[in-house]
Amino acid sequence: MKRNPTAFLKEEYEELVKKNLDWRLRILESGSTPHSIVDGKEVIMLCSNNYLNLSNHPKLIQGAIDAAKKYGAGSGSVRAIAGTMKLHMEVEKRLAKFKGTEAALVYQTGFAANAGLIPQLAGKGDITISDELNHGSIIDGVRLTKTDRAVYKHCDMGELEKVLKEADKKYRRILIVTDGVFSMDGDIAPMDKIVKLAEEYGAMTYVDDAHGEGVIGPDGRGIGAHFGIEEKIDVEMGTFSKAYGVVGGLIAGSRDLINFAYNKSRTWLLSGSHPPAVAGAQLAAIEVLETEPEHVKRLWDNTKYFKKELQNMGFDTGFSETPITPVIVGESSKAKELSDKLFEEGVFALPIVYPMVARDKARIRTMMNAGLTKEDLDFALEKFEKLGKQLKII
């Protein structure tokens, strides 16, 4: 058959454009700072994951410069062969201490950690059990396993227990996987209850704390510390790309877990290690978290103020318990319109629409930043109020 083998590229792209579902990239012309220059315009940044504003912290920048000067621009290899520098080992040692676990391991990205480790933890004859709202990188990690799969209703512990009861008799291993902080709603998984159920049924627990790392728990130590159960979670996975202000995935847990993970994770074994500048900045980020508690405090002060004011105005902010505050507006088109108008007024916050959330729950997702001042927040709030009234949301 004479076919055009690449015609689908244009067709599928145009289909997305027609539905207004294609990504149109906004371009930053400054660092990702509380006031950023985006598409030539100065805006209050309310959609970066740089919660603590650490990506612009002088100590992180200096850490990156010093490491690049000493060790060069690249690492030369994958970690397992010749790409493990003393600096990479130092980061892992400091990280384990910070997280309160026996050991830690750094992956290229959080996505690489989920895609590389989950498929090794469970296989044929096993079952993975997931929260229905888990992140796409967990879903892909689970797809790479040869296990049976079950999904429970969002944070529904009754349903999780039902699945566990069934699974207990039938499977060799049981792996429960969940987001720690859910990225669309900003709510927190009941890890204390999940761990208790897991103990009862002999299941392994894996929590993806990408949005909790550096944000929840004392000094931003993450979800284990938040519930005081660091020792009881089998795998705590997180990222350096959000609150830590750099890039890189991480896992924290027992020495056995780390030995297993670096010998088995294909993403870790088969992909180059971080450039020295990245490792240098990671090390500085941990040090800043350990020694400058004011960033986490400011993040939460800002969060509480912003959330309360939005609620006072009459906005529906859902179930958020974290610096992710959704402003639920209803229809997708309305969320997009609000986002566009906010941008024109100098506030950058992205719409989240169907199919990422339910059809009638389209929203603007705001992410707080420790570097925003009260004046900045009042400026943004005033725009939300004005446009919310104009679009008849409040």
Ligand X SMILES: *Cc1c(COP(=O)(O)O)cnc(C)c1O
Applying CB under 6 A, the residues found at the interface with ligand X are 109-111, 135, 137, 179, 183, 208, 210-211, 239, 241, 249
Among residues 242, 274, 307, 361, the one annotated as catalytic is: 242
Report how far residue 208's alpha carbon sits from residue 302's, in angstroms, rounded to the nearest whole number.
Answer: 25
| Identity of the residue, 110 or 388, whose beta carbon is nearer to ligand X in the bound complex | 110
- Of the pair 115, 387, the CB lying nearest ligand X is at 115
CA dist., res. 20 & res. 16, Å (int): 6
Quote the Cα angle for 269-275-277, to 5°.
145
242 is catalytic: yes
308: CB partners within 8 A, 6+ apart: none
Closest to ligand X by CB, 220 or 388: 220
Closer CB to ligand X, 34 or 110, in the complex: 110
Tell me the residue number closest to ligand X, measured at CB. 110
Contact predicate 361/324, CB 8 Å: no
Residues in the chain: 394
**Shortest Cβ distance from residue 324 to ligand X (Å)?**
10
| 274 belongs to the catalytic site | no
Find how far residue 278's CA is from the centre of its chain: 18
- Exactly one of 183, 273, 332, 339 is catalytic; name it: 183
Cβ partners under 8 Å of residue 103, min gap 6 = 92, 96, 252, 253, 254, 255, 257, 258
Least Å from the CB of residue 267 to ligand X:
11
| Least Å from the CB of residue 251 to ligand X | 12
From the CB of 246, what's the least distance to ligand X, in Å? 10
Q: Which residues of 316-344 are buried (b: 16+ CB within 10 A; e: fewer)?
A: ebbebebbbbbbbbeebebbbbbbeebbe
From 211, 295, 307, 334, the catalytic residue: 211
Q: Among residues 48 and 332, whose Cβ is nearest to ligand X?
A: 48
Least distance from ligand X to the Cβ atom of residue 135, Å: 3
Angle between helices 276-291 and 86-99 (to 10 degrees): 30
In the residue annotation, 265 being an active-site residue is answered as no
Positions annotated as catalytic residues are 183, 211, 242
